[in-house]
Amino acid sequence: MTAVSDTETGSWPWLAHYPAEMDWHAEIPVKPLYALLDDTVAKYGHQPAFDFMGKKWTYDELGSLVDHFACGLKKLIKPGDRVGLLLPNCVYYPVAYFGTLKCGGTVVNCNPLYTESELKHQILDSGAKVMVTIDVTPIANKLIGLVDACRLDTVVVCPMADILPFPTNFLYRLAKRKDIARLPADPRFKRYGEIIANDGKITPHPVDPLKDIAVLQYTGGTTGTPKGAMLTHANLYANAFQMEEFAMEMTPGKDKMLAVIPFFHVFAMTSAMNNPILCGIEIVALPRFDVQQVLETIDKTKPTLFPAVPTIYTAISNYPGLQKYDISSIRLCISGGAPLPLDVKETFERLTGCSLVEGYGLSETSPVATCNPPLGVSKAGSIGIPAPQTIIEIISMDDRVTPMPLGQPGEVCIRGPQVMSGYWEKPEETEFSMVGGRFHTGDIGTMDEEGYTYIVDRLKDIVIASGYKIYPRKVEEEIYRHPAVEETVAGGVPDAYRGETLKVWIKLHDGMSLTPEALHAFLKDKLSPIEMPKLIEFRTTPLPKTLIGKLSRKDLIAEEIARAKPSSPPSG
């Protein structure tokens, strides 16, 4: 990808402070996304590629599975068709993902925990005609119920038992019989074995990397309405390449990536699947997050890289039996998906000895746009510096055009090779978000004199109380400084007088106590009177989280609104 000219970039503040080990001007290859795997198979075919629950595949074996799947899938789709993946983290994910791309198809990432109605919307909106799933009853049964309503042509069902090591596979078939989905006698349902029953000789479909859509990544964005970010082959290849620049020093046969965040989420798709495959390192995948299983896996398999969301690092740090496990193999963690509280970062680094750096991105940017460089200066509270060939601008929230001075808040806008081509069949929303070549993120941030960006909050999350703007993220950061606080969320709830009132929800560490009065005293020199939370709710159970493990402000505010609604009068 052609480098940006010096005349355009000469004034960007990060250039004078970019780490010597990295090159912001690095030329980024323009390739089909499937070349990412093919090139690694050619170079590192004998190296370990994937470990699922103890069963392993080399890159040669993974590449062969992809080719066989592509051969079978090619009979079911034509170039440009959408193929939905409804799968947990397992080897079937990269097989179906890269197999679809080799046929010229577009991957639609679907969340296995979606309700039938959420899944139905996504299938119909994307126009997917083929779905790939696993024969686990709670997941597969959703498609059994939707095959007619969504006008699906084919559902490919992959057997869980076949990818488990012996004797676990044998025991699974016996002990988990009720969990194995019974497929209807319907020709639209095809078993994975049928799809790969071929010679595996596939000629990859020629694509235009800059124009052809590799993945539809659904996101709520700034409006809350799920929409598909159209990520091209070039977008996703570029972002895997950019991450390699940040992570540095990945050695095939030595480094391992622990993948517990779900591949269907854009952060994991790039950081825990595409990037390690580009680098030729092994992926150690777990189907879901369970803190004890994660610790056992680290102790046994010795992964060195561990991207995750902050709540996962918090859960590990607070696990009562942590000292029983050796987790010293972890050398680098990249936190994404949600703000990383300083206390969480410092505690996890102290316990593990690793470097935990915060990055930033969105579905629309493939997703990584910035990161604190592991081999450069990592600034606490910052989302770091722009990835190679990426321009971060802080733009006026008033006119959406004027750049703000350094240190002044504005909307974070992004330009770069990883920025989507637009939203699927939503031209008006594309036009609103893509202005003057910039993607408007909906996040408010500032930039310092060295080009490091700091997120202040989401535009939609700002609390406006009596006309004053309050940033929930700042309030949360200050509350996290209290040693008794394990989790906290701040948000605006309706108030008849002020319009909105700031409320905080807090889960304390086990065995610790805190009163509203004591919290106010702690925050007195940290927050202004306007920012001081008016409502405080302590909870004894963990705060609600999204499907990828982020603390869910939306759910807490919805609970509050539901409680505030007057009950309906009795009928009659």
Across residues 83-96, what is the average pLDDT? Answer: 98
pLDDT tens readout for residues 488-518:
999 999 887 777 899 999 999 999 999 999 9
Across residues 254-269, what is the average pLDDT? Answer: 96
Q: Give the pLDDT of residue 311.
A: 86
Query: Cβ neighbours of residue 569 under 8 Å, at least 6 residues apart?
Result: none
Secondary structure of residue 141 in the 3-state scheme: helix
Q: Give the pLDDT of residue 225.
A: 66
Q: Give the pLDDT of residue 173.
A: 86
pLDDT tens readout for residues 409-442:
999 999 999 999 999 999 999 999 999 889 999 9
State the angle between helix axes of 472-479 and 516-523 in degrees (0 to 180), rounded to the nearest 10: 100
Q: Give the pLDDT of residue 564.
A: 78
**What are the extents of the domains in the chain?**
33-206, 462-564
- The percent of residues above 70 in pLDDT, for the chain, comes to 95
Given a cut of 80, whether residue 292 has pLDDT beyond it is: yes
> Contact, 441 vs 407, CB < 8 A?
no
- Residue 493 sits at the vertex; the CA angle it makes with 559 and 362, to the nearest 5 degrees, is 80
Q: Are strands 355-361 and 332-335 parallel, antiparallel or unpaired?
A: parallel
Q: How many CA atoms lie within 13 A of 232 on its CB side?
A: 18
pLDDT tens readout for residues 161-206:
999 999 988 888 888 888 899 999 999 999 999 999 999 999 999 9
Q: Are strands 282-285 and 48-52 parallel, antiparallel or unpaired?
A: parallel
Across residues 78-99, what is the average pLDDT? Answer: 98
pLDDT band at residue 130 using 50, 70 and 90 as cut-offs:
very high
Q: Give the pLDDT of residue 248.
A: 66
Across residues 123-151, what is the average pLDDT? Answer: 96
Q: Give the pLDDT of residue 8.
A: 54
Given a cut of 60, whether residue 485 has pLDDT beyond it is: yes
Q: Give the pLDDT of residue 546.
A: 83
CA pair distance 224, 185, nearest whole angstrom: 38
Higher pLDDT, 99 or 495: 99
Given a cut of 80, whether residue 569 has pLDDT beyond it is: no
Q: Give the pLDDT of residue 223.
A: 46
pLDDT tens readout for residues 206-241:
999 999 999 999 986 444 568 999 999 999 999 999
Secondary structure of residue 557 in the 3-state scheme: helix
Given a cut of 50, whether residue 3 has pLDDT beyond it is: no
Across residues 13-42, what is the average pLDDT? Answer: 96
Given a cut of 60, whether residue 115 has pLDDT beyond it is: yes
Amino acid present at 271: S
Query: Cβ neighbours of residue 323 under 8 Å, at least 6 residues apart?
Result: none
Q: Give the pLDDT of residue 249.
A: 74
Given a cut of 60, whether residue 1 has pLDDT beyond it is: no
Across residues 453-460, what is the average pLDDT? Answer: 86
CA pair distance 460, 440, nearest whole angstrom: 13
Q: Which helix (H) or strand (E) holds 297?
A: helix 291-301
Provide the token pair at 448: 């310092």
CATH 3.40.718.10 assigned to domain 462-564? The reply is: no
pLDDT band at residue 27 using 50, 70 and 90 as cut-offs:
very high
CA pair distance 19, 4, nearest whole angstrom: 18
Q: Which of 143-147, 449-453, 551-555 has the highest mean pLDDT?
A: 449-453
pLDDT tens readout for residues 526-541:
988 889 999 999 999 9
| Strands in 263-390 per DSSP E | 282-285, 332-335, 355-361, 368-371, 385-386
Q: Where are the alpha helices (DSSP H) in 403-509?
A: 427-433, 472-479
Q: Which residue has the tokens 């316990």?
A: 351
Given a cut of 50, whether residue 127 has pLDDT beyond it is: yes
Across residues 289-316, what is the average pLDDT? Answer: 95
Q: Where are the alpha helices (DSSP H) in 434-567?
A: 472-479, 516-523, 553-564
Given a cut of 70, whether residue 317 has pLDDT beyond it is: yes
| CATH architecture assigned to 33-206 | 3-Layer(aba) Sandwich (3.40)
> Contact, 152 vs 124, CB < 8 A?
no
| Strands in 319-409 per DSSP E | 332-335, 355-361, 368-371, 385-386, 391-395
CA nearest to 224, candidates 493, 460, 494, 472: 460
